[in-house]
Amino acid sequence: MQNVENIVNGQKLFQKPEYQEVLENKKEFEGHAGATNPEKVKEIADWTKSWEYREKNLAREAITINPSKACQPLGAVMAALGFENTMPYVHGSHGCVAYFRSYFTRHFKEPTPCVSDSMSESAAVFGGLANMKDGLRNANALYKPDMIAVSTTCMAEVIGDDLKAFTASAKEEAEGEMDDTLIPSAHTPSFVGSHITGYDNMIRAILEQTNPTKAEKVVDEERINIIPGFEPYLGSLKEIKNISKMFGDKVVMIGDHQEQWDTGAGEYKLYAGGTSLEDTKTAINAKATISLQKYSTVTTSKLIKNKWKQEYKTANPIGLSGTDEFVMMLSELTGKEVPEELKAQIARLVDAMQDSYPYMHGKSFAVWGDPDFLLGLVSFLVEMGSVPAHIVCNNAPRKGWKEDMEAVLEKSPSKDECQIWPSKDLWHLRSLLFTEPVDFMIGNVYGKELYRDTGIPLIRIGFPIFDRHHLHRYSMSGYEGALNLLTWITNGVLDQLDEETKGIAETDYFFDSVR
Amino acid sequence: MGPETLESLQKSAIDEVLEAYPEKAKKKRAKHLGVDSPEGVKGACDKTKSNKQTVPGVMSQRGCAYAGSKGVVWGPIKDMIHISHGPIGCGQYSRGGRRNYYIGTTGVDTFVTMNFSTDFTEKDIVFGGDKKLKKALEEIDDLFPLNNGISVQSECPIGLIGDDIQAVSKTHKKESGKPTVAVSCEGFRGVSQSLGHHIANDMIRDEIMPDTSHKKDFESTEYDVAIIGDYNIGGDAWSSRILLEEMGLRVIAQWSGDATYKEMAIAPKAKLNLLHCYRSMNYISRHMEQEFGIPWMEYNFFGPSKTTESLRKIASFFDEKIQKKTEEVIAKYTKMTDEVIAKYKPRLEGKKVMLYVGGLRPRHVIGAYEDLGMEIIGTGYEFAHGDDYKRTKEDLERSTLIYDDVSEYELEKFVEKLRPDLVAAGVKEKYVFQKMGLPFRQMHSWDYSGPYHGYDAFAIFAKDMDLAMNSPVWDHNTAPWDEK
């Protein structure tokens, strides 16, 4: 029973003997092997660690287990929230939107505005036009957006709703209420690609449908667009904006969702920050666009290169050389020298890398996440002399990504110890970790169970991270971001070193106060 | 604030909120909002429209049928593997967020926090996913030999592309000899997660209830009961079970938090079904009553008043021996809960609370707050039916704003107008109200605390509410240079 002087929640309550007895008694009625045949559980658990199991596991064709990816409309919602006074609108069931909102909210610990038009059985039969008409009008009246960015769920895609016709007809029938509201729309079927594909489709839709055609463009030689991609690190967006500012006021972020998930206490604002609609509508006039996530902007790049005939470049400012590339690209495009401040930053970063390298050098890592994030992270690990032994990317694009990763690994003397695993999930990784172990894992919250199963420490970098607070507020981009990566990883290694050496009178001779 | 002023404030809040809508939506929403009180006649609890289509384009907090089936009813059955059948998203978003606690070796003999998905591609939509499903079922049996069955939880496309998951599951069941249950809980069915609960119940009825393999050698006692509709969030069912066992009853099944397939199958051996979440499991309780003659009763284990009332009601189904022991249990714990109240009530008394949750909580938790002297001035359900609102009436203590399927816009406005001291709802709402400077507790996940069911749990509840209300962090909203 609870002691009122020391009330404990479930974590400790269920450790009390009376509850242990309850759990023990329950076994009589339970059917899982843990209750009926504990020996068998041990036997199978050991078998799942074997090479034999690994081979079976890697041969899987039909069932995906514990993947690290989500579906298209999630990315479309993030893309939409990167624009000023914009309401993401998902044409489909509201269940999907409830999921997107809670997923982002658990990561950012911030509200996530997004509506749906609540399609159900009748819409499945008759199409979702009626829902679209009511939905857009209601959303417009209640939330007063300047732009409503429409994406779709798999339901709307399977029944084949015509978005452009639907939004046009909704606008027409709204008695003028929506005449000033921009309503770009993107098809974002969940059964194609992943959340980064949805991000791409929505960014393209917004740019294509709010900008004039090539014939009307007026090139502004000073204007540079930067598309950050599906970026869960708000600090990274800030950092990129800081760097951009050093190269001029006309280096503009397109799709800037930083403030939306970064508002302060005291007042709730439905919309915050975002790329201004003025900047959005004139994106075509820029001299060039730089995408910071090549594989999150595949279709957008086609719009920019082929339809807009604008210069399109990619950079990946995660780690030292990725940031170098980005900075030099900005310098070249703007014709401005690299500013002193960045020179100081890079010097500080390199200095810090030289301070910490003994702890990262030679350590092996398993890493997973989105394709561009991994290219940047692996590049940084290689710069530090670490060995990225297992690189798992469930949503790896078929074209180009593996080759890009191989090129990054080419710089590592340990490249033969590194394996790239496109399309694999974290249950595959579990087998890899048991058969070919590593020193550390770097990834999102889904590595938590791998940590429990294998004992390999998890350094949390990625998306989503639900079980640690505020990491998303930091940058992992730019020189300052690389310093954060260095700090997180080095201290992760040192935490583990303390963990391994803390045994009193056994190992604590190495439990050093200075490292 | 007297009751009259509260009521008029509540009514004017409704009027103000409705003003923002276009005519058609306004008319619809008006039927879902109202005010009721213990002495009210034909008030909102009798009249509120519910279980209707959500108005398109508003930020509803509702989920879908898949969420009701996979997320709520089937997902927690720990020794079965639940496949999210269709595109990748649904299984990913519903992974590990509900805190359905269980004991087991995850990935070996239990699987609750894992995501099994057929991860549809365009090819599966065009050519159908039945073959992939068949293969997936085989791969699962191959890699997870200790699974005690598989359920197939349909996502939206399945019902639209004409797949026959029933046939595939039937074949697999025959071949593997293990339960294989196809659940057609596509997200577009119905208006909320509620239909998903119903569909899930129906599949338990059709696929598990007829299975006699575990029932046939089961040795019954006079005191066998089953806990129905407790998902063991934060361990709720465990802190309930202990009380029932101390009363002298034998809990033979726990549905479905920390449940095994066997417990699902032997439940019809119970002498009494104890139903906590009426909304999500009344269907199967009624079925067991009709089919097996098992009576069922609703109970409420939130807060000592309701827990004590419920324990006595449960005991009344049994003999004097049980009733006597029940009084001993009540006496033993009441001493502790009285101390809890003595400690926390002075810190919480008179604080006003607005609730917005799902299932049973919009009415069931009222008593727990009132035990601490806190006053519920608004409550509403995400996916209730008329019978839920009728049941709410008896839990009201004062004039209460009632809102069905409230949108974020409406809830925000209601809170601005009524200025409660605490809002208790879900994660999507949490940070909206915290930004407004209001303490907030998540009442789906117990805000990563809990359990909240039973006497021991009430102590945690009280401590958590005190934590939320009286934390110094709420005092920092005004910067020193802005202080007058």
In tens, the pLDDT along A155-194 reads 999 999 999 999 999 999 999 999 999 999 999 999 999 9
| Cross-chain CB nearest to B459 (options A7, A100, A158) | A7
CA distance to partner chain B, nearest, from residue A295 (Å): 18
Tokens of A123: 């819409």
Question: What mean pLDDT is predicted for residues B401-412?
Answer: 96
Write the single-letter amino acid at B331.
A
B88 contact residues in A (CB cutoff 8 A): 64, 67, 69-71, 190, 194
CA distance to partner chain A, nearest, from residue B131 (Å): 9
What SS3 state is found at A182? Answer: strand
Contact B427 A102 (CB under 8 A): yes
Q: Choose from A24, A114, A138 for mutation: most chain B CBs within 10 A.
A: A138
Q: Choose from A72, A191, A269, A469 for mutation: most chain B CBs within 10 A.
A: A191
pLDDT at B4 over 90: no
What residue has token string 């590593």?
A438
pLDDT, residue B1, reads: 47
B34-59 b/e with 16+ CB inside 10 Å = b? bbbbeebeebbbeebbbbebbbbbbb
Contact B412 A268 (CB under 8 A): yes
- Name the average pLDDT for chain B: 97
pLDDT, residue B482, reads: 87
pLDDT at A300 over 50: yes
Q: Nearest-CA residue of chain A relative to B479? A: A266
Contact B426 A71 (CB under 8 A): no
Q: Choose from B88, B405, B463 for mutation: most chain A CBs within 10 A.
A: B88
| Cross-chain CB nearest to A41 (options B109, B242, B427) | B109
pTM: 0.98
pLDDT at B3 over 90: no
pLDDT, residue B5, reads: 85
State the greatest distance between any 2 C-alpha atoms of chain A, in Å, as a whole number: 81
B125 contact residues in A (CB cutoff 8 A): 154, 158, 191
Q: Report DSSP state, residue A416.
A: G
pLDDT, residue A261, reads: 98
Task: State percent of chain B over pLDDT 70.
Answer: 99
pLDDT, residue B46, reads: 95
pLDDT, residue B484, reads: 65
Question: What mean pLDDT is predicted for residues A31-46?
Answer: 98
Q: Nearest-CA residue of chain B relative to A50? A: B143
Q: Nearest-CA residue of chain A relative to B269? A: A29
Q: pLDDT (tens digit, 9 = 90+) per residue, A258-299?
A: 999 999 999 999 999 999 999 999 999 999 999 999 999 999
CA distance to partner chain A, nearest, from residue B139 (Å): 7
CA distance to partner chain A, nearest, from residue B481 (Å): 15
Question: What mean pLDDT is predicted for residues A5-34?
Answer: 98
DSSP strands (E only) in A69-179: 86-91, 115-116, 147-152
Taking one residue from A and the other from B, the number of pairs with CB-CB distance under 8 angstroms is 358
How many Cα atoms are found within 13 Å in the side-chain-facing hemisphere of B104? 32
Non-local (6+) Cβ contacts of A232 within 8 A are A107, A462, A463, A464, A472
Catalytically active residues of A, by annotation: 154, 158
CA distance to partner chain A, nearest, from residue B256 (Å): 12
Tokens of A58: 């890697």
Contact B157 A158 (CB under 8 A): yes
Give the separation between CA B24 and CA A422, rounded to whole angstroms: 50
Question: What mean pLDDT is predicted for residues B31-40?
Answer: 95
Q: B86, A17 in Cβ contact below 8 A? A: no
Question: What mean pLDDT is predicted for residues B75-89?
Answer: 98
Give the separation between CA B14 and CA B413, rounded to whole angstroms: 9
pLDDT at B441 over 90: yes
Q: What is the separation, in whole angstroms, between the first and last Cα of chain A?
A: 46
Q: Is B156 a residue of the active site?
A: no
Tokens of B402: 């009632």
Give the separation between CA A234 and CA A158, rounded to whole angstroms: 34
Out of B99, B197, B279, B444, the active site residue is B197
pLDDT at B240 over 70: yes
Q: pLDDT (tens digit, 9 = 90+) per residue, A106-122?
A: 999 999 999 999 999 99
Q: pLDDT (tens digit, 9 = 90+) per residue, A321-358?
A: 999 999 999 999 999 999 999 999 999 999 999 999 99
Question: What mean pLDDT is predicted for residues A453-478?
Answer: 98
pLDDT at B462 over 50: yes
pLDDT at B483 over 80: no
Question: What mean pLDDT is predicted for residues A465-484?
Answer: 98
Contact A268 B188 (CB under 8 A): no
Task: State percent of chain B over pLDDT 90.
Answer: 97
Question: What mean pLDDT is predicted for residues A133-140?
Answer: 97
Q: A478, A228 in Cβ contact below 8 A? A: no
Quick check: bond before A296 cis, omega within 30? no
Q: Is B98 a residue of the active site?
A: yes
A95 contact residues in B (CB cutoff 8 A): 62-67, 187, 193
Over chain B, what HEC string results? CCHHHHHHHHHHHHHHHHHCCCHHHHHHHHCCEEEECCCCCCCHHHHCCCCCCCCCCCCECCCCHHHHHHHHHHCCCCCCEEEEECCCHHHHHCCCCCCECCCCCECCCECCCCCEECCCCHHHHHHCCHHHHHHHHHHHHHHCCCCCCEEEEECHHHHHHCCCHHHHHHHHHHHHCCCEEEECCCCCCCCCHHHHHHHHHHHHHHHHCCCCCCCCCCCCCCCEEEEEEECCECCHHHHHHHHHHHCCCEEEEEEECCCCHHHHHHHHHCCEEEECCHHHHHHHHHHHHHHHCCCEEECCCCCHHHHHHHHHHHHCCCCHHHHHHHHHHHHHHHHHHHHHHHHHHHHHCCCEEEECECCCHHHHCHHHHHHCCCEEEEEEECCCCHHHHHHHHCCCCCCEEEEECCEHHHHHHHHHHHCCCEEEECHHHHHHHHHCCCCEEECCCHHHCCCCCCHHHHHHHHHHHHHHHHCHHHHHCCCHHHCC
